Structure 1
Amino acid sequence: MILYGLATCDTCRKARKALPQAEFVDLREQGMPPEVLAAALERFGERLVNSRSTTWRGLSEAERARPPRDLLAAHPTLMKRPLVVDGDRMVLGWDKAAQADLGVI
């Protein structure tokens, strides 16, 4: 199980605490492997982009109009977090449904 997120993100910290067995990958330092990004975009589409983030608010309209793959490649912190990958299963976010899906609650 791999948890993709940011070390400074409170939500990611909660997920890491609840999933101590998961390997943590900091998007800011290590980025996301292209094949994982492609699979996540196929599964979640535009929901993978966090349009409520400070990074998003700092983008120009032209940048916001770019395809999600290009946006996330240029600004990995734009990804909704965390993304938990466990084999073929992917869980995005840390709401009650995501926690239930991962067996945390």
Structure 2
Amino acid sequence: MFYFLKQRFSHLAIPEKNAKRIGMFRTLCAIFGGLCVAYLGMTLLLFILPVSPGESLVIPLLFNTLAWALASLWIVLAPTRLRALWRSVLPTLCFAVLIVFFFFKESM
């Protein structure tokens, strides 16, 4: 089991030979990872902004499109597939932990 995971991670860590091809894996990581990062960032902005939720709804909605485009571009320009995977998973987990923290902070 561990050998299989080690083999997969070593395969993902190899840069692609043809730099002109992006690859399906990095494209899917960019689309879905960028979407998760953008929506979680939008939700986090709702908790962080010091105005009422009705007033603060406009800024994250406008921010979402820009954040999705920038996050997707950042993910797809990763040099390896493993780095693209980390660039989509790590910010998603960080935003999710911060949202849970702010949610429980406000509910207490």
TM range, smaller chain? under 0.3
Using the size of structure 1 for normalisation, the TM-score is: 0.27
Name the structure, 1 or 2, with higher relative contact order (CA <8 Å, separation 6+).
Answer: 2
Using the size of structure 2 for normalisation, the TM-score is: 0.27
Structure with larger Rg: 2
